[in-house]
Chains A and B, each alone.
Chain A
Amino acid sequence: MNEPIYFVAAPMLIAIISLFWREPSTTRRLFGVLSAAFITLGALYFVITLSLNEQRLILNVGDWKAPLGITLVLDPLAAIMLFLSGFSALASLLYSMFELPTRSEHPLRQPLLFFLLTGINLSFVTGDLFNLFVAFEIMLISSYALLTLEANDWDIKQSFPYLTINLLGSTLFLAACGLAYSIYGSLNFAHMASQTTALAGDSRLLVLATLLMCVFSIKAGIFPFYYWLPNSYPILPTPLAAFFAGMLTKVGIYVLFRLFTTVLPHDLTSLHTLLAWLAGATMIFGVLGAVSRNFIRGILSFHILSQIGYMALAIAFFTPLSLAACVFYIIHHIIVKATLFLVGGTVSSLNGTDDLSRTGGLWKVAPILGLCFLLQALSLAGIPPLSGFWGKYLIFVEGIRLHDYLLVAAALLAGILTLYSMLKIWLGAFWSPLPDSGELHLHETRWKPLTAVVAAMTIVSLAIGLGAEHVYRISAVASRMALDQSGYVAAVMAALGKGGF
């Protein structure tokens, strides 16, 4: 079965083909948009079929059986993530097509975006720890390049902390690979999971799990490893910032989810407790940072952190319901966050800045944009019946059932402060009249198609909120299958190939 590799090979091919164009042209942009749409639809097909049949598709690369060869696994959770990455890339490409005239787009933006997508998708389908390291490196090198590609001379320094902290994280990841190899004698997820009972009570596992948790906390931006994020994301151009904000930290969350459910033993309760408290701190500090900022991209960047806190908390509770809530929350969050960044970019193209003291008066000239922002902001804060409410509701229910009242209180407080800082953007950019120092660039007609992109994403997000039952059912299947270690091991070991034990 070759299906898992399609989602890695396709973006890489598209990136290479895009390089042959050299100069950005309308044809190249259309090619990028259409192929991203095709990848997204393909992933949606697998989300539906795999979750209906509760099935895993497995590819042994080079026909070598697990645990000797490299295994790629496409299960419902991976398919959901592939859909979300394809969808964010599509939104980013569409926005970038309408935002900039062809001649002012950087020729390397589109190829690098697809190389980034290659790395992200490989980290979703991989069934091997070292291959995951390679996927992360492809993703990180592309992201370093995108971060500095169009940065101006003043902002370039903000990429320095991003680079150094991620380099440190990658090196620790490599050390964790070595540690895992010395404990398990293999880096294959299925082979590692199959030794859970044989290694029960081995204290080295706790060291390995802690190291892996540190590594992916750095990638996901969990307290106390988050300071690189809020300053580096605002230097990106709007469509790329939306893609980074939506996807990159969520790859860290996905890997934490995958490792804790599928690979590592389920009885690491002390580590789960630690993760829960770190998640609580991430929520509070992230949202306080957002309250302190006064420009839209800064506020939104800090909100990524506080939302990461909710997802990490859902993983840390480690009950079937909270894990399903985590998958639901990831689906909701990626779309909402990318939309909010795109709204922020449209506001700054209308007002010439996203400094809230110099923006205003947009409700009268762009009511649809305002409506989209309001819906997505309320969804982020968790107002029913929007998509953010359902994920938060399930997490709160599990928190109360587990008697973790302090953490639930922290999550509620973070929700209220989220609403406050979102209202700050709403009042500053849309509701208040234009200040004397501000200006409106209405003669630019580009903001209308940009609003259309934002509105389309808002509709998808609304559909998730209103059709929450269906999305929840898919999330529940995905998380249940990720938790089912014996099923995962059996499926991977049964896949055809040569060699093997």
Chain B
Amino acid sequence: MQLDTALLVGVLFGLSIYLILLRSFVQILFGFTLLSTSVNLFLLATSGSPDGKTVPIIGAGPNPVDPLPQALILTAIVIGFGVTAYLVVLLYRIFLDHDTIDAQDLFHPPKKTDDNSP
């Protein structure tokens, strides 16, 4: 039973979804970084409890942990890095073009304050 890992994955998922739903680009970006971390932790948990197991290297000992989830995580980290880099650049470009870091202002720009008409 890996209750602690399960709880940690749940909390991380909840936190990252909360951050993604916020309006600021910076918080959305952190939300996605945290989301990929939490899903990687979830993948790691699928290899089962590591108690009494050795590293999955030939000659390291009997009863190694399942190495496949670790291979999946490595791939996922590389892909996640690329996509996060792209997201940073895209958000920076949107900031340059629209002069805002607020997702709400991006799609529903606030009315200009110097406009005197009701």
Are A and B interaction partners?
yes
Contact A181 B97, beta carbon cutoff 8 Å: no
A178 cross-chain contacts in B, Cβ below 8 A: 39, 42-43, 45-46, 69, 72
B93 interfacial contact with A, CB 8 Å: yes
A148-B93, A167-B32 known; A160+B69 contact, CB < 8 A: no
Kindly state the separation between the CA atoms of A148 and B106 in the bound complex, as whole angstroms.
16
Contact A134 B83, beta carbon cutoff 8 Å: no
Contact A134 B75, beta carbon cutoff 8 Å: yes
Known: A160-B94, A177-B72; 13 extra A-B contacts, CB below 8 A, are A130-B75, A141-B82, A141-B83, A144-B86, A144-B90, A153-B97, A160-B103, A163-B86, A167-B83, A170-B83, A175-B39, A181-B46, A182-B46
Contact A174 B39, beta carbon cutoff 8 Å: yes
Task: Give how many A-B residue pairs fall within 8 Å (CB-CB).
Answer: 74
A139-153 contacts to B (CB < 8 Å): 140-141, 144-145, 148, 153
CB proximity of A157 to chain B, nearest CB, Å: 5
Residue in chain B with minimal CB distance to A158? B107
Kindly state the separation between the CA atoms of A134 and B76 in the bound complex, as whole angstroms.
9
Contact B98 A157, beta carbon cutoff 8 Å: yes
3 tightest A-B contacts by CB?
A153-B97, A182-B46, A178-B43
Using an 8 Å CB-CB cutoff, how does the interface string of B66-83 with A read, 1 for contact, 0 for none? Answer: 001100100110010011
B94 cross-chain contacts in A, Cβ below 8 A: 156-157, 160
B11 interfacial contact with A, CB 8 Å: no
Residue in chain A with minimal CB distance to B71? A130
Q: List the interface of chain A (C-beta within 8 A of B).
A: 130, 134, 137, 140-141, 144-145, 148, 153-154, 156-157, 159-160, 163-164, 167-168, 170-171, 174-175, 177-179, 181-182
Kindly state the separation between the CA atoms of A48 and B46 in the bound complex, as whole angstroms.
42
Contact B90 A167, beta carbon cutoff 8 Å: no
Residue from A153, A163, A174, A179 within 8 A of B76 (CB atoms): A174
B93 cross-chain contacts in A, Cβ below 8 A: 148, 156
Kindly state the separation between the CA atoms of A137 and B78 in the bound complex, as whole angstroms.
11
Residue in chain A with minimal CB distance to B100? A157
A-B contact list, 13 entries, CB within 8 Å: A141-B82, A144-B86, A153-B97, A156-B94, A159-B90, A163-B86, A168-B20, A168-B35, A174-B76, A178-B72, A181-B46, A181-B68, A181-B69
CB proximity of A10 to chain B, nearest CB, Å: 23
Contact A130 B72, beta carbon cutoff 8 Å: yes
Kindly state the separation between the CA atoms of A157 and B76 in the bound complex, as whole angstroms.
27
A157-B98, A160-B103 known; A137+B79 contact, CB < 8 A: yes
B76 cross-chain contacts in A, Cβ below 8 A: 174
B87 interfacial contact with A, CB 8 Å: yes
Kindly state the separation between the CA atoms of A130 and B107 in the bound complex, as whole angstroms.
35
Kindly state the separation between the CA atoms of A179 and B79 in the bound complex, as whole angstroms.
19
B35 cross-chain contacts in A, Cβ below 8 A: 167-168, 171
Kindly state the separation between the CA atoms of A282 and B76 in the bound complex, as whole angstroms.
31
Kindly state the separation between the CA atoms of A156 and B79 in the bound complex, as whole angstroms.
23
Contact A148 B90, beta carbon cutoff 8 Å: yes
B28 cross-chain contacts in A, Cβ below 8 A: 164
Between A145, A174, A175, A182, the greatest number of chain B beta carbons within 10 A of the residue's beta carbon is seen for A174
Kindly state the separation between the CA atoms of A419 and B86 in the bound complex, as whole angstroms.
40
B91 cross-chain contacts in A, Cβ below 8 A: 160
Using an 8 Å CB-CB cutoff, how does the interface string of B18-43 with A read, 1 for contact, 0 for none? Answer: 00100000001000100110011011
Between A130, A159, A179, A182, the greatest number of chain B beta carbons within 10 A of the residue's beta carbon is seen for A182
B82 cross-chain contacts in A, Cβ below 8 A: 141
Kindly state the separation between the CA atoms of A5 and B63 in the bound complex, as whole angstroms.
36
Residue in chain B with minimal CB distance to A68? B68
Contact B86 A157, beta carbon cutoff 8 Å: no
Contact A141 B86, beta carbon cutoff 8 Å: yes
CB proximity of B46 to chain A, nearest CB, Å: 4
Kindly state the separation between the CA atoms of A255 and B89 in the bound complex, as whole angstroms.
30
B36 cross-chain contacts in A, Cβ below 8 A: 171
Kindly state the separation between the CA atoms of A8 and B10 in the bound complex, as whole angstroms.
37
Between A141, A154, A157, A159, the greatest number of chain B beta carbons within 10 A of the residue's beta carbon is seen for A157
Kindly state the separation between the CA atoms of A177 and B86 in the bound complex, as whole angstroms.
24
A157 cross-chain contacts in B, Cβ below 8 A: 94, 97-98, 106-107
Residue from A140, A156, A167, A170 within 8 A of B97 (CB atoms): A156
Kindly state the separation between the CA atoms of A352 and B36 in the bound complex, as whole angstroms.
44
Kindly state the separation between the CA atoms of A365 and B115 in the bound complex, as whole angstroms.
46
B83 cross-chain contacts in A, Cβ below 8 A: 137, 140-141, 144, 167, 170
Between B45, B68, B83, B93, the greatest number of chain A beta carbons within 10 A of the residue's beta carbon is seen for B83
Residue from B42, B86, B97 within 8 A of A175 (CB atoms): B42
Kindly state the separation between the CA atoms of A160 and B104 in the bound complex, as whole angstroms.
12
Kindly state the separation between the CA atoms of A178 and B48 in the bound complex, as whole angstroms.
11
Contact A160 B90, beta carbon cutoff 8 Å: yes
A164-B20, A167-B32, A177-B72 known; A154+B43 contact, CB < 8 A: no
